[in-house]
Amino acid sequence: MTPSVLAGLVGAALVGLGLYGLISNPHPLRKLLAFNLVGSGVFLVFGIVARRGAAAGFAFDPVPQAMVITGIVVAFAASALAVALILRLAAASGKVTLDPRAWTKPGEGGQ
Amino acid sequence: MTAPGGELLVFAVLTPVLGILLSFARGGRAAEAITLALAPVGLVLAGFVAWLVAWSGAPLVYEIGGLAPPLGIALRADGASATMMVVTALIVPAAAFYAREKFATPQGGESRSALTFWIMLQAIWAALNLVFLGSDLFNLYVALELLTFAAVPLVCIDGRPETLAAALRYLLFALFGSISYLLGVALLYGGYGTLDIVLLGQKIEGTPLVWTAAALMTAGLLAKTALFPLHIWLPPAHANAPAAASAVLSGLVVKGSFFLALRLWFYVLPGLPIAAPAALLGALGGCAALFGSILALRQARLKLLVAYSTVAQIGYLFLMFPLAAAPAGGALGWSGGFMQVLAHAFAKAAMFLSAGVLAEALGHDRIAQFGGAARALPLTFLTLGLGGLSLMGLPPSGGFEAKWFLLRACAASGQWIWAVPILGGGLLAGGYVFRILAPALGDGEVKVKASPRRSQELVALGLVVIALALAFAPENFFEFIRIGRPLAGGGAS
């Protein structure tokens, strides 16, 4: 098994585990961690893509690396935004749940 | 090659960004003034781009830094993107003008919600323009993320717990969507070494890699567009946001990711046999149109009803895939689907703004207590009624034009099955519009807490008039939105 195939399999496993966590865990913080796991898997796949670098004719294609860095920045910003929302939610209501039934009484609502 | 006037595309993206930076630096009342001052600038830029595209009959291209793809990144305005830019330049300023009261900056200071609102509104504008103009799939990923990051804070701007939960749910769905899209992008890059839409469209082949990438990217975009069954985040998010924000979110933001789905299937993959996946997207769209309408019928609050109606109307958009991809009648399907995008953007923005006027005036938006409200707020109910006309698809309205084109496409391509959701959804839309209007036009006396602001009512009415005027779009307009669309694979006739 070559290193690229191994890295690819690890990437796929990370994406799979993360996706499972994202769907099955009810708590937003766990969902966020799961999202970061998926992100790591995707960035790993990007890394292998860089190694192929076939089309551009380079020995090692630098473009995917630039994309990974951008992707990491975006994922970091997204995580920060999500954590800020979770903290505000906890501060405002004392509970952190995404279940809409916890927030609206039937036939009621703001605005 | 950068065409003459290509620099306009850069200005179209950067003008709102400049506005954001200035708003940050100046703070206070400046944010509001800058956003409103951007309105004419943005409209002139978008109009000029559209004029250039129409005049030359070819897409307007700008290569950033003078580097041609695949090494560089291009911005590209074709008929479809120029049209969407003009729509954005009309709806965002309308929402801004409407929001002046609610997000007025207090005298001598600044409030967090006001500053956030004005800055995020400009950010949405910049991100949408980038989504419409981007020609590189990774660049478009960044644009899509900017759009999400600008839209999420607007949902929870008033800080109530339920709005924070709705925003968080929206964000998590959007994050799933973007990471799935990004994985598809990585695979495509690995396969072809370029992410430029035009170059990819020429090289693409029906390999398992391409289909996997397309499936991942589409799944991500569907989560962001809130297509059934990934729609559950949309109603609480759109219904809890302030009215001006809801109008932009429902009218424009969901169209951003839908536009990318169109780019993917009709610009990157048009050379491949896409009938089967297009039929699957159409089936999901048909379910959304029926299911969303039925849920809209059951809502007790007006804003939730309008939000569920967005779920249904998004369904119609996806009927565009099987109809526009068909060898016969493809052009009709494309015209009809695009008209639906435009008609829904204007009609829905107008209805959300009207719902906001109503909630301010009555202090609630419970439909059961609307008895006689039409006498107190005639202009607002006129707007709601006319917007409903377009949602139902009755003439004269953009919604009718859209459904008429789509039905003709069904007939031309022999795909009668899609007529079921088109007609059934229209019937159900008639039901929920009737539910809003019937009590309001009936007997009863409502207590008006605050008299509605005429300027806000007129903004909403103006938007709905555009939605109706779309019915009179000339034939050249439909030729215009086809400019720059690849014709390979028999997708268009």
CB contact under 8 A, B182 and A42: yes
CB contact under 8 A, A35 and B138: no
B53 close contact with A: CB closer than 8 A:
no
Give me the pLDDT at residue A51, please: 67
CB contact under 8 A, B164 and A64: no
The DSSP string of B190-202 is HHHS--BHHHHHH
- Taking CA–CA distances from B184, the nearest residue in chain A reads A42
Contacts of A52 in chain B (CB under 8 A): 190
d(CA B331, CA B357): 39
CA B102 to chain centre: 23
Give me the pLDDT at residue B232, please: 87
Radius of gyration of chain A (CA): 19
Q: Sign of the CA dihedral B405, B468, B236, B338?
A: positive
> Torsions phi, psi of B193, nearest 5?
70, 15
In a domain, A99, yes or no: no
Interface contacts (A, B; CB < 8 Å):
122
Query: B436-460 burial string, b = 16+ CB within 10 Å, else e?
Result: bbebbbeeeebeeeeebeeebbebb
Give me the pLDDT at residue B108, please: 67
pLDDT tens across the length of chain B (493 residues): 667 778 889 999 999 999 999 988 887 778 888 888 998 999 999 999 999 998 888 888 888 888 888 788 889 999 999 999 999 999 999 999 998 888 877 776 677 888 889 999 999 999 999 999 999 999 999 999 999 999 999 998 888 888 898 999 999 999 999 999 999 999 898 888 888 888 888 888 888 889 999 999 999 999 999 998 888 899 888 888 899 999 999 999 999 999 999 999 999 888 788 888 899 999 999 999 999 999 999 988 889 999 999 999 999 999 999 988 888 888 888 999 999 999 999 999 999 999 998 888 888 888 888 888 888 888 889 999 999 999 988 888 888 999 999 999 998 888 888 999 999 999 999 999 998 888 888 887 777 787 888 888 888 999 999 999 988 888 888 888 888 888 644 433 3
Do B131 and B145 sit in the same domain of this protein? Answer: no
Q: B356 to chain A nearest CA, in Å?
A: 8
Any idea what the CATH number is for the domain that residue A80 is in? 1.10.287.3510
Contacts of A44 in chain B (CB under 8 A): none
CB contact under 8 A, A111 and B359: yes
CA B15 to chain centre: 21
d(CA B57, CA B68): 21
Do B335 and B294 sit in the same domain of this protein? Answer: yes
Of A55, A56, A107, the CB nearest to B300: A107
Which helix (H) or strand (E) segment holds residue B255: the answer is: helix B254-262
Q: A4 to chain B nearest CA, in Å?
A: 13
CB contact under 8 A, A53 and B193: yes
CB contact under 8 A, A70 and B138: yes
Do B126 and B252 sit in the same domain of this protein? Answer: no
What confidence tier does A10 reach under pLDDT thresholds 50, 70, 90? very high
B155 is written with which tokens? 């949902």
Count how many domains chain B has.
Answer: 2
Do B165 and B94 sit in the same domain of this protein? Answer: no
d(CA B212, CA B437): 47
d(CA B189, CA A63): 10
In a domain, A98, yes or no: no
CB contact under 8 A, B165 and A100: yes
Do B294 and B356 sit in the same domain of this protein? Answer: yes
CB contact under 8 A, A71 and B192: no
Q: Give the C-alpha distances (Å, rounded to integers) separating B418 from B278, B344, B443, B479.
A: 12, 19, 40, 24
Give me the pLDDT at residue B160, please: 85
Q: A85 to chain B nearest CA, in Å?
A: 6
Do B371 and B479 sit in the same domain of this protein? Answer: yes
CB contact under 8 A, A45 and B175: no
CB contact at 8 A, A74 and B144: no
Which helix (H) or strand (E) segment holds residue B62: the answer is: strand B60-63
Range of the domain at B396: 136-490
d(CA A62, CA B94): 44
Q: B401 to chain A nearest CA, in Å?
A: 34
What confidence tier does A111 reach under pLDDT thresholds 50, 70, 90? very low
Among the three residues B135, B155, B179, which one is the final residue of a domain in this structure? B135
Do B107 and B155 sit in the same domain of this protein? Answer: no
B458 is written with which tokens? 């007129």
Contacts of B184 in chain A (CB under 8 A): none
- Taking CA–CA distances from B165, the nearest residue in chain A reads A98
Among B388, B233, B206, B231, residue whose Cα is nearest residue B318: B231
Do B120 and B147 sit in the same domain of this protein? Answer: no
Residue A54 has pLDDT above 60, yes or no: no
Do B272 and B319 sit in the same domain of this protein? Answer: yes
d(CA B190, CA B212): 12
- Taking CA–CA distances from B367, the nearest residue in chain A reads A107
Give me the pLDDT at residue A110, please: 40
In a domain, A29, yes or no: yes
CB contact under 8 A, B142 and A28: no
Range of the domain at A77: 3-92
Q: B96 to chain A nearest CA, in Å?
A: 19
CB contact at 8 A, B322 and B273: no
CB contact under 8 A, A103 and B189: no
Among the three residues B103, B135, B167, which one is the final residue of a domain in this structure? B135
Contacts of A64 in chain B (CB under 8 A): 186, 189
Among the three residues B112, B135, B158, which one is the final residue of a domain in this structure? B135
* Percent of the residues in chain A that have a pLDDT greater than 90, as a whole number: 42
DSSP-derived pairing of the beta strands B74-77 and B60-63: antiparallel
- Taking CA–CA distances from B303, the nearest residue in chain A reads A111
Count how many domains chain A has.
Answer: 1
Contacts of B185 in chain A (CB under 8 A): 67
A44 is written with which tokens? 């790993």
Contacts of A107 in chain B (CB under 8 A): 300, 366
Give me the pLDDT at residue B224, please: 93
Side-chain-side CA neighbours of residue B441 (13 Å): 11
Strand, helix or coil at A40? Answer: helix
> Interface pTM (ipTM) of the complex?
0.89
Of A28, A71, A107, the CB nearest to B172: A28
Do B72 and B171 sit in the same domain of this protein? Answer: no
Query: B106-123 burial string, b = 16+ CB within 10 Å, else e?
Result: eeeeeeeebbbbbbbbbb
Place of tokens 């602001």: B453
Query: Which range among A44-53, A54-63, A100-109 shows the weakest confidence by mean pLDDT?
Result: A100-109
Give me the pLDDT at residue B489, please: 45
Side-chain-side CA neighbours of residue B202 (13 Å): 6
Contacts of A72 in chain B (CB under 8 A): none
